[in-house]
Amino acid sequence: MTTPPPSLPTTSYAILGMLALRPWSAYELTQQTRRSLGYCWPTAESVLYHEPKRLVGLGLATAKRQAAGRRTRTVYAITEQGRRVLADWLATPPSPPGLEAEAMLRLLYADQGSRQDLLDSVRATRAWALARAPEGLAQVRGYLTDGGPFPERLHLITLFGRFYLDLFELLVRWADLAEAEITAWPRTADLGMTDRTRALLEEMFTRLQPLADRATEQSTPGSGEA
Amino acid sequence: MTTPPPSLPTTSYAILGMLALRPWSAYELTQQTRRSLGYCWPTAESVLYHEPKRLVGLGLATAKRQAAGRRTRTVYAITEQGRRVLADWLATPPSPPGLEAEAMLRLLYADQGSRQDLLDSVRATRAWALARAPEGLAQVRGYLTDGGPFPERLHLITLFGRFYLDLFELLVRWADLAEAEITAWPRTADLGMTDRTRALLEEMFTRLQPLADRATEQSTPGSGEA
DNA sequence: GACAGCATGTAATGAGTTACATGATTAA
DNA sequence: TTAATCATGTAACTCATTACATGCTGTC
């Protein structure tokens, strides 16, 4: 273990992983990111220009200046040490998922604003999720016809994409439900336990039960499993 | 519009919203956060001590030092101006959701590591989702029996919780699927388009179609809707 | 009377975003 | 030739996290 206690920020591994697939220029990264990285590890574009330099400084990547037309651009590639560091990181436990959902925040405080505010927020969320669909459809179509840019990685990409399809569908379905509920409200404040709310809570209780059961099963060593 | 161009970071509104419900000390915020805010707007504890001070500086909250036992603690409360700023923000369009999912990142680069690494990551994700269930169950039980700490807000809290239940179920189901797939793989690299992968892609295509249709419907003004 | 952990903060560090800057290429 | 937009970067600033610090409270 000659690698110094790595502990880079996750963003570094995200870029390093990209470089493991093939060399990229920073701009190419900004483009490819839309198809993959952007889904699971959102970053500003400037990171995609900065981070590779850091990796070079650490000896995990190399930079080669190339002539592109009349201008020069920098193409980054992973080093052997970079591959080792990436592999080490992959053997490490993942940090839990974190979801930043402003729309949910707005729901939580909706009684401080108007019903229209809340409806707008819910609809914006659905619109955002729906807006991913056409591009996703094009990507999937591409995979099915020509295999896309990394055909040998399709088994991974497919599981990846499946998760985000599930997620977008969830957002749309939830927004449909929420819109229907909210539309039936006379206002946003002080409704409390309506009949409909009670029904929803009871359904949630029923669905939570089996999850909680599985949770305790797995935390106790269990007496089954001969 | 006497309020100066607000544009606070979302975190500020998150805290401000808490204060809109009732006054809290910073420590109380750290506790309550686990039940609500933590789901949609994750932050480090130190933020919950810092942010209220900023709000006070802006005139959006007040700080009152109280004796708690022999020690003093600071209780923060929202001001009228704070309520206005919060209401203005609620009328503003929400930024799109952002999901940081390290586990998905690891999936994306799984061909750079071992199959075991990938399985561990998938299982950790499921375990994390399952681990939320018992607390969620307790919360829902509380809502059904005594209404919880804010019974007049149950209609909001329920829609909120429903989303996260959906999400946790999704994570568990996806992890189950992924584990089954990966277990059937001989290795993580260079499998490409297996039969199973093709089947998944075709199902995804079918499910994406209606979403894409809805997306185009809603972006065009539409000729229906008399 | 000491140890664990609850309650309350602060400071330093480091990461990531917004905003700016500018050369090249293409279309009108 | 101008305008637009592609391609490439940099710098300043702000935010948020990690790590530390410390008084208080109950319990053994």
DSSP string across B44-74: -HHHHHHHHHHHHHTTSEEEEEEEETTEEEE
Give the length of chain B: 226
Dihedral of alpha carbons B118, B119, B123, B126, sign? positive
pLDDT tens for the 226 residues of chain A, in order: 334 445 899 999 999 999 999 999 999 999 999 899 999 999 999 999 999 999 999 999 999 988 766 677 899 999 999 999 999 999 999 999 999 999 999 999 999 999 999 999 999 999 999 999 999 999 999 999 999 999 999 999 999 999 999 999 999 999 999 999 999 999 999 999 999 999 999 999 999 999 999 998 877 655 544 4
Comparing CB atoms, the residue among B40, B111, B202 nearest residue A99 is B40
Q: Given phi > 0 = left and psi -120 to 50 = alpha, else beta, which region is A88?
A: alpha
Q: Which two tokens stand for residue B33?
A: 């956060």
Per residue in A74-126, pLDDT tens? 999 999 999 999 999 999 999 999 999 999 999 999 999 999 999 999 999 99
Answer for B50: CB within 7 Å of strand C. Answer: yes
Chains A, B: CB contacts within 8 A come to: 347
B13, closest residue in chain A (CA to CA): A105
The count of other CB atoms within 10 Å of the CB of residue B182 is 20
Q: What angle do CA A208, A211, A214 make, to 5 degrees?
A: 150
Q: Nucleotides on strand D with an atom closer than 7 A to protein CB?
A: 7-11, 14-19, 23-25
Q: Which two tokens stand for residue A160?
A: 């990846």
Contacts A178 to B, Cβ<8 Å: 159, 163
Average pLDDT rounded to a whole number, residues B116-126 = 97
Contacts A157 to B, Cβ<8 Å: 108
Separation CA A175–CA B94 (nearest Å): 14
Per residue in B132-149, pLDDT tens? 999 999 999 999 999 999
Q: Are A197 and B154 in contact (CB under 8 A)?
A: yes
**pTM of this prediction exceeds 0.85:** yes
Name the protein residue, with chain letter, whose CA is nearest the C1' of D24. B71
Select from A15, A40, A96, A2 the least CA-distant residue to B130.
Answer: A96
Question: In Å, what is the separation between the CA of A73 and the C1' of D3?
Answer: 25
B66 beta partners:
B73
| Interchain contact, B173 vs A166, CB within 8 Å | yes
Separation CA A78–CA A86 (nearest Å): 10
Question: In Å, what is the separation between the CA of A216 and the C1' of C15?
Answer: 37
Q: Are B30 and B73 in contact (CB under 8 A)?
A: no
